Structure formats: C-alpha cells, structure tokens
C-alpha cells in the first residue's frame, strides 16, 4: 500500500516529552517513508539468525532477540490502536501498558523466529494501511493515552522511532548485523 498523505513531523506539544527521544531518531520529513521502508532494514539483520542466536540475551535480565521482536510488534499494535481511537474522535482516555508484563506473557521465545518476523511484517502492513487511510484532520486530532496528550501523527513518528531505537540496540548490544 502506498499512502498519498504526508504525515509531517509533530510539534513538541503533540506528545509527551519522553517520546521525543524516538521522534528525534526519525530523519525524514514524512513518517510514512520510514514506516514503509525501515522494517526491511530491521528484518535484514534478523533473517540470518538461527533459533539459538535468536534466544541470545546480552545480559541475563535483558530480553532475548525474539522478545525484542515481539515487543516491537506488541508496541506497534498498541500505538496503532491508540491512533485509530483518537483519529476516530474517541476521547476516552486510553490506559498505558507495561512492556515488562507483556513480553513474558507473549512467550516469544517459544515461537519460531520465522513466525515472529512474519508477524512483524503483517503488523507493519496494518499500520501503513491505517495511517495511509487517514485525512489531515484525523492526523491532527489529539487524545489522551497513558494520562498524556498525544496526536495521531505523533504516534506514527513514535512507531518509526521506537523501531529505530530497538534496531540500534540489536546492533550495538546484541551484535547483530555485523
């Protein structure tokens, strides 16, 4: 799917300060470009892994590679759900989520790596479909998630930056892609 709408960089009052670290990682002028293109770069460092390497943790208390992949998919689903609700005008505050509860419950280490990669691709396709179908008015809508104000377009940028953040960790701390 190719989006015809540009999802321009959000203003700093459209998201909680914490998310600036993710948004700042995205160099483009349109969030659709990295959302469309960057997943392939991430998957390129994951596809060569065997099951044993995908279970690697860079420290005992840290997530495995598979858990990082699962976390990215879970987070993207949650962020996209938030974007959908806010874009549709739902002003009901959306609760936060605790990734440190979600990851163990996801049992990602028990799933084949190939399934986790395929899931990532499907999640991204759904995200692109969602954002590609939104009008400018919907992208600018704001709602409350995790007790903070956020715009729909900021969520697109957060999704892109969150992946870049974790890809850097996979490369630097897990030694992938080298």
pLDDT in tens, 73-115: 999 999 999 999 999 999 999 999 999 999 999 999 999 999 9
pTM listed for this prediction: 0.95
User: What is the sign, positive or negative, of the torsion defined by CA atoms of 170, 23, 61, 106?
Assistant: negative
Long-range contact pairs involving 164-168 (C-beta distance under 8 Å, separation at least 24): 164/22, 164/25, 164/26, 164/34, 164/38, 165/21, 165/22, 165/25, 166/42, 166/68, 166/71, 166/72, 167/38, 167/41, 167/42, 167/45
Half-sphere exposure (Cβ direction) of 51: Cα atoms closer than 13 Å? 7
Domains of the chain with CATH codes: 12-172 (1.20.120.450)
Q: Which pLDDT score, from 0 to 100, does residue 3 have?
A: 43
Neighbours of 3 (CB within 10 A): 20
Q: What span, in angstroms and rounded, lies between the C-alpha atoms of 112 and 110?
A: 7
Position 5 confidence tier, pLDDT thresholds 50, 70, 90 = confident
Q: Which pLDDT score, from 0 to 100, does residue 63 have?
A: 98
168 burial via Cβ count (<10 Å: 0-12, 13-18, 19+): exposed
């Amino acid at each position: 799917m190719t989006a015809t709408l540009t999802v321009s960089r959000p203003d700093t009052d459209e998201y909680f300060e914490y998310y600036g670290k993710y948004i700042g990682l995205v160099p483009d002028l349109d969030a659709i470009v990295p959302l469309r293109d960057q997943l392939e770069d991430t998957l390129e460092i994951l596809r060569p892994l065997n099951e044993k390497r995908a279970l690697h943790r860079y420290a005992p208390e840290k997530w495995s590679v598979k858990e990082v992949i699962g976390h990215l998919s879970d987070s993207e689903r949650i962020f996209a759900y938030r974007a959908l609700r806010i874009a549709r005008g739902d002003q009901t505050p959306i609760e936060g989520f605790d990734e440190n509860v979600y990851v163990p419950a996801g049992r990602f280490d028990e799933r084949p790596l190939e399934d986790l990669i395929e899931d990532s691709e499907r999640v991204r396709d759904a995200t692109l479909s969602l954002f590609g179908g939104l009008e400018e008015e919907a992208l600018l809508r704001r709602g409350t998630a995790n007790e903070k104000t956020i715009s729909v377009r900021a969520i697109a940028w957060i999704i892109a930056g969150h992946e870049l953040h974790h890809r850097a960790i996979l490369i630097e701390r897990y030694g992938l892609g080298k």
